[in-house]
């Protein structure tokens, strides 16, 4: 039953989950879920442009997602509209422009559902190389940026005052997000990438006592969700993206149950007194 | 060593006619002061008077739109911001908070936590701390990195009156032990830390500046605050030559009214005879009567 394409999807998916874990923690801590969504939605515009201009798909998606995040930074600085209104405008217009361009290109046949919800059949060996190569790059960058990113998450002015560079860290963080979206798109799909970032991190929160532990746990939980989801996808012939999200949700719900850590939560809150 | 240099000569930070503008409005303008090692400068002023803006400009978080800010080369700042909320989703213990902006040795962490009386809370999540505990944890974090300049933006907020006295005593000890410069922002317009060398009263510009008067010298104050508090607190008397009107304009002592107020407008007499400005109830400075300060102190105590 374990065909080559499935092994490829599994290796790729676990690679993505490893990167999505720590990145997803920052998305939660910095309350950037909607921002991640906006970048992911703009990926379809990247897909359309890659077809139109015959560019590499991942490169094209990475560039479009980066441009959208920079555009958001610029518009935020101008301060005319609130961030969530700007995100709403950017998110849905990027998605719609992508869909419209694709509709105009009658000469290409494109599996829209595959792009939106992920397609495990689409993973090639070259994709795996990119995912693991890019993934290791993202992890290394995160390790390097960890302190300024974490400090500016707690308070950007504090980070700035004490000699870290929060603006630079934020910029790199956005580029890392764009990179992860570009490499994760094929497995999870454009519409569901954010959930792979957020749900494992949210699940990890309950068991974590430090930011670092939470990041590692989120990676492991994500890998578990990807594995479970892909097996389910294969078994029931469901699209891979939603199957992975359902598996991640199942783990999240399990983490909410008051089993596992009897009395720990209440103990720790009074432990200091 | 031949290269003997008194560290007191060059200030850690000095602001010269510094101003910050946002959306076409001056948040603060014409600010001048400097802080040297071992010196405590307290900024006071009503809400929105530009205290935090001034402090942030001094440490380089904000860039001045006019004037200049000079900082000593390699200046190490320890900062306690006015507002700091740690999201519940971020698992952060007091111990982990200590190394937020830079690595520290275990011994340094313990010493700093012990000096603010927070060592027993090292393993507690910061979200579970009370307001006063959190302030002490933040202070411990700021001093643990052994800064040249400690910037404390309303460090006694959420702290009761006796806690405030204890914090001021602690800040004094830190200054005496480490010799760092301290920029303190106070929410109280009349009662400042006794050790303060210079008080700068802001309201969009420097309204007045001076040295506070020791509480312990007046028997009435002693009675009001108690002996322990009297050693930590001092009273600051304002000497203004202008009044801030409710609409933002400024009434000068010479009777003229201007749109704004900054040293270059020719209406000030900072170097001349002292012009004590009468505090009428509409005074935009926010410090109506001197009694106001006592009331707020007593309310906090309750």
| Range of weakest confidence among A10-19, B2-11, B276-285 | B276-285
The tokens for B115 are: 């000096």
- pLDDT of amino acid B221: 66
- ipTM score here? 0.82
- Does the pLDDT of residue B297 top 60, yes or no? no
| Range of weakest confidence among A67-81, A206-220, B141-155, B237-251 | B237-251
Decide: B125 and B93 in contact? Cβ < 8 Å: yes
Q: B213: closest CA among B185, B188, B238, B181?
A: B238
Residue of A nearest to B78 (CA): A162
Report yes or no on A202 lying in a domain. yes
- Does the pLDDT of residue B279 top 60, yes or no? no
Decide: A108 and A182 in contact? Cβ < 8 Å: no
Q: What's chain A look like in SS3?
A: CCCHHHHHHHHHHHHHHHHHHHHHHHHHHCCCHHHHHHHHHHHHHHHHHHHHHCCCHHHHHHHHHHHHHHHHHHHHHHCCCCHHHHHHHHHHHHHHHHHHHHHHCCCCCCCHHHHHHCCHHHCCHHHHHHHHHHHHHHHHHHHHHHHHHHHHHHCHHHHHHCCCCHHHHHHHHHHHHHHHHHHHHHHHCHHHHHHHHHHHHHHHHCCCCCHHHHHHHHHHHHHHHHHHHHHHHHHHCCCHHHHHHHHHHHHHHHHHCCCCCCCHHHHHHHCCC
Which segment, A94-108, A146-160, B45-59, is predicted with the most confidence on average?
Answer: A146-160
Decide: B81 and A155 in contact? Cβ < 8 Å: yes
The minimum CA-CA distance between B123 and chain A, rounded to whole Å, is 7
Provide, as residue numbers in chain A, all residues whose Cβ is less than 8 Å from the Cβ of B84: 154-155, 158
Look-up: residue for tokens 């002996």?
A: B227
- pLDDT of amino acid A191: 83
Residue of A nearest to B91 (CA): A210
- pLDDT of amino acid A267: 41
| Range of weakest confidence among A77-91, A231-245, B254-268 | B254-268
Decide: B257 and B249 in contact? Cβ < 8 Å: yes
Between these two residues, A117 and B109, which has the higher pLDDT value? B109
**Mean pLDDT for the stretch of residues A34-63:** 90
Closest in A157, A211, A272 to B81, CB measured: A157
| Range of weakest confidence among A115-124, A225-234, B82-91, B195-204 | A115-124
Query: Which residue range is the domain that position A178 belongs to?
Result: 4-254
- Does the pLDDT of residue A110 top 90, yes or no? no
Give the model's confidence band at B208: pLDDT under 50 very low, under 70 low, under 90 confident, else very high.
confident
The tokens for A58 are: 């991942």
Rounded to the nearest integer, the mean pLDDT of chain B is 78
What are the boundaries of each domain within chain B? 13-76+147-242
Indicate the SS3 state at residue B106.
helix
Q: B137: closest CA among B150, B124, B153, B151?
A: B124
B132 touches chain A (CB under 8 A): no
Which residues have CB under 8 Å from A145's CB, separation 6+?
Answer: A169, A172, A173
Look-up: residue for tokens 């308070």?
A: A155
Question: Which element (helix H / strand E) includes B291?
Answer: helix B291-301
Q: B161: closest CA among B302, B13, B53, B19?
A: B302
Backbone angles phi, psi at B42, to 5 degrees: -110, 130
**Mean pLDDT for the stretch of residues B128-154:** 91
User: A26, A162, A167: which to substitute to probe chain B, counting the most B Cβ within 10 Å?
Assistant: A162
- Does the pLDDT of residue B206 top 90, yes or no? no
- pLDDT of amino acid B213: 73
- Does the pLDDT of residue A145 top 70, yes or no? yes
Dihedral angle of Cα B286, B290, B295, B298, to the nearest 10 degrees: 120
Decide: A161 and A185 in contact? Cβ < 8 Å: no
Backbone angles phi, psi at B68, to 5 degrees: -145, 155
The tokens for B256 are: 């003229």
Give the model's confidence band at A144: pLDDT under 50 very low, under 70 low, under 90 confident, else very high.
very high
The minimum CA-CA distance between A201 and chain B, rounded to whole Å, is 9
B12 touches chain A (CB under 8 A): no
- pLDDT of amino acid B45: 84
- Does the pLDDT of residue B41 top 50, yes or no? yes
HSE-CB at A76 with a 13 A cutoff on CA atoms is: 11
What whole-number distance in Å separates Cα of residue B247 and Cα of residue A48?
A: 56
Closest in B81, B93, B100 to A209, CB measured: B93
**Mean pLDDT for the stretch of residues B239-260:** 74
Report yes or no on A269 lying in a domain. no
What whole-number distance in Å separates Cα of residue A103 and Cα of residue B169?
A: 71
Pairing type for strands B181-185 and B40-44 reads parallel
Between these two residues, B45 and A244, which has the higher pLDDT value? A244
CA A185 from centre of chain: 9
The minimum CA-CA distance between A19 and chain B, rounded to whole Å, is 18
- Does the pLDDT of residue A89 top 80, yes or no? yes
Between these two residues, B295 and A178, which has the higher pLDDT value? A178
Give the model's confidence band at B263: pLDDT under 50 very low, under 70 low, under 90 confident, else very high.
low
Report yes or no on A216 lying in a domain. yes
Decide: B113 and A254 in contact? Cβ < 8 Å: no
Give per-residue pLDDT as tens, A1-48. 456 888 998 999 999 999 999 999 999 999 888 888 899 999 999 999
Give the model's confidence band at B30: pLDDT under 50 very low, under 70 low, under 90 confident, else very high.
confident
Decide: B199 and B210 in contact? Cβ < 8 Å: yes
- pLDDT of amino acid A250: 96
Provide, as residue numbers in chain B, all residues whose Cβ is less than 8 Å from the Cβ of A29: 87, 89-90
- pLDDT of amino acid B79: 94
- Does the pLDDT of residue B159 top 60, yes or no? yes
Burial grade of B31 (CB within 10 A; 0-12, 13-18, 19 or more): buried
Give the model's confidence band at B225: pLDDT under 50 very low, under 70 low, under 90 confident, else very high.
low
What whole-number distance in Å separates Cα of residue A103 and Cα of residue B162?
A: 71
- Between the CA of residue B106 and those of B91, B94, B164, what are the distances in Å? 20, 13, 28
- Output b/e per residue, B133-150; b: 16+ Cβ within 10 A: bbbbbbbbbbbbbebbbb
Between these two residues, B69 and A261, which has the higher pLDDT value? B69
Domain count for chain A, please give it.
Answer: 1
The tokens for A231 are: 């097996």
Determine whether the interchain pair B76/A163 forms a contact, defined as Cβ–Cβ distance below 8 Å.
Answer: yes
Which residues have CB under 8 Å from A21's CB, separation 6+?
Answer: A200, A201, A204, A215, A216, A217, A218, A219, A220, A221, A222
Classify A180 in phi/psi space as left (phi over 0), alpha (psi -120 to 50) or beta.
alpha
Question: What topology does CATH give the domain B13-76+147-242?
Answer: Rossmann fold (3.40.50)
- pLDDT of amino acid B289: 37
Classify A155 in phi/psi space as left (phi over 0), alpha (psi -120 to 50) or beta.
beta
Give per-residue pLDDT as tens, B92-138. 999 999 999 999 999 999 999 998 889 999 999 999 998 888 988 99
How many CB atoms within 10 Å of residue B218?
14
Determine whether the interchain pair B60/A147 forms a contact, defined as Cβ–Cβ distance below 8 Å.
Answer: no
Provide, as residue numbers in chain B, all residues whose Cβ is less than 8 Å from the Cβ of A160: 60-61
Provide, as residue numbers in chain B, all residues whose Cβ is less than 8 Å from the Cβ of A213: 91
Q: Give the single-character DSSP code of B278.
A: P
Pairing type for strands B77-80 and B250-252 reads unpaired
The tokens for A162 are: 């004490």
B157 touches chain A (CB under 8 A): no
Report yes or no on A267 lying in a domain. no
- Does the pLDDT of residue B219 top 80, yes or no? no
The minimum CA-CA distance between B237 and chain A, rounded to whole Å, is 32
Tell me the whole-structure pTM to 2 decimals: 0.81
Give the model's confidence band at B195: pLDDT under 50 very low, under 70 low, under 90 confident, else very high.
confident
User: B63, B89, B185: which to substitute to probe chain A, counting the most A Cβ within 10 Å?
Assistant: B89
Q: A9: closest CA among A250, A186, A138?
A: A186
Decide: B18 and B66 in contact? Cβ < 8 Å: yes
Decide: A16 and A218 in contact? Cβ < 8 Å: no
Provide, as residue numbers in chain B, all residues whose Cβ is less than 8 Å from the Cβ of A157: 56, 61, 79, 81
Between these two residues, B297 and B85, which has the higher pLDDT value? B85
Q: Give the single-character DSSP code of B248.
A: S
- pLDDT of amino acid B265: 56
Q: Give the single-character DSSP code of B73.
A: T
- pLDDT of amino acid A106: 82
Closest in A150, A213, A272 to B100, CB measured: A150
What whole-number distance in Å separates Cα of residue B66 and Cα of residue B41?
A: 22
Sheet holding B213-214, edge to edge: B191-193, B233-235, B213-214
């Amino acid at each position: 039953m374990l065909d080559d394409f499935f092994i490829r999807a599994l290796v790729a998916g676990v690679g993505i989950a490893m990167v999505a874990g720590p990145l997803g923690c920052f998305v939660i801590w910095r309350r950037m879920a909607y921002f991640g969504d906006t970048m992911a939605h703009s990926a379809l515009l990247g897909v359309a442009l890659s077809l139109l201009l015959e560019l590499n798909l991942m490169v094209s998606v990475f560039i479009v997602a980066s441009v959208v995040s920079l555009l958001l930074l610029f518009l935020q600085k101008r301060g005319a509209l609130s961030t969530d209104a700007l995100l709403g405008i950017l998110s849905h217009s990027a998605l719609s422009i992508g869909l419209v361009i694709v509709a105009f290109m009658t000469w290409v046949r494109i599996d829209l559902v595959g792009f939106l919800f992920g397609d495990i059949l689409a993973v090639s060996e070259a994709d795996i190389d990119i995912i693991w190569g890019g993934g290791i790059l993202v992890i290394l960058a995160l390790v390097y940026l960890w302190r300024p990113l974490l400090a500016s998450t707690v308070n950007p002015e504090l980070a700035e005052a004490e000699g870290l560079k929060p603006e630079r860290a934020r910029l790199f963080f956005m580029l890392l997000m764009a990179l992860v979206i570009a490499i994760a798109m094929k497995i999870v799909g454009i519409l569901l990438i954010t959930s792979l970032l957020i749900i494992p991190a949210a699940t990890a929160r309950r068991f974590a006592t430090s930011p670092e532990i939470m990041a590692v746990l989120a990676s492991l939980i994500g890998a578990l969700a990807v594995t479970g989801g892909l097996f389910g996808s294969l078994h029931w012939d469901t699209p891979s993206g939603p199957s992975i999200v359902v598996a991640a949700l199942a783990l999240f719900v399990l983490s909410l149950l008051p089993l596992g850590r009897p009395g720990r939560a209440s103990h720790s809150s009074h432990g200091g007194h | 060593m031949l290269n003997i240099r008194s560290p007191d000569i060059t200030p850690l930070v000095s602001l010269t006619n510094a101003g910050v503008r946002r959306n076409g409005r001056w948040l603060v303008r014409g600010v001048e002061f400097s802080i040297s090692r071992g010196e405590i400068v307290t900024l006071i002023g009503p809400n929105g008077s530009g205290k935090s803006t001034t402090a942030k400009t001094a440490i380089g978080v904000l860039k001045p739109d006019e004037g200049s800010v000079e900082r000593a080369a390699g200046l190490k700042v320890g900062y306690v911001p006015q507002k700091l909320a740690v999201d519940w989703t971020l698992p952060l213990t007091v111990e982990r908070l200590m190394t937020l902006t830079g690595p520290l040795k275990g011994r340094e962490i313990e010493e700093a936590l012990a000096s603010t009386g927070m060592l027993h809370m090292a393993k507690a999540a910061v979200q579970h701390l009370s307001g006063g505990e959190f302030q002490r944890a933040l202070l411990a974090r700021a001093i643990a990195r052994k800064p040249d300049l400690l910037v404390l933006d309303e460090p006694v907020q959420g702290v009761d009156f006796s806690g405030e006295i204890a914090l001021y005593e602690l800040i004094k000890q830190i200054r005496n032990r480490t010799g760092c410069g301290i920029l303190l922002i106070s929410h109280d317009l009349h009662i400042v830390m006794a050790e303060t060398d210079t008080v700068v009263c802001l309201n969009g510009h420097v309204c007045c500046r001076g040295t506070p008067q020791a509480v312990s010298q007046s028997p009435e104050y002693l009675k009001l605050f108690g002996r322990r508090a009297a050693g930590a607190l001092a009273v600051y008397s304002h000497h203004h030559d202008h009044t801030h009107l409710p609409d933002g304009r400024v009434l000068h002592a010479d009777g003229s009214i201007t749109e704004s107020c900054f040293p270059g407008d020719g209406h000030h007499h900072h170097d001349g005879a002292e012009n004590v400005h009468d505090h009428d109830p509409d005074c935009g400075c926010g410090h109506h009567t001197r009694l106001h300060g006592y009331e707020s102190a007593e309310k906090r105590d309750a």
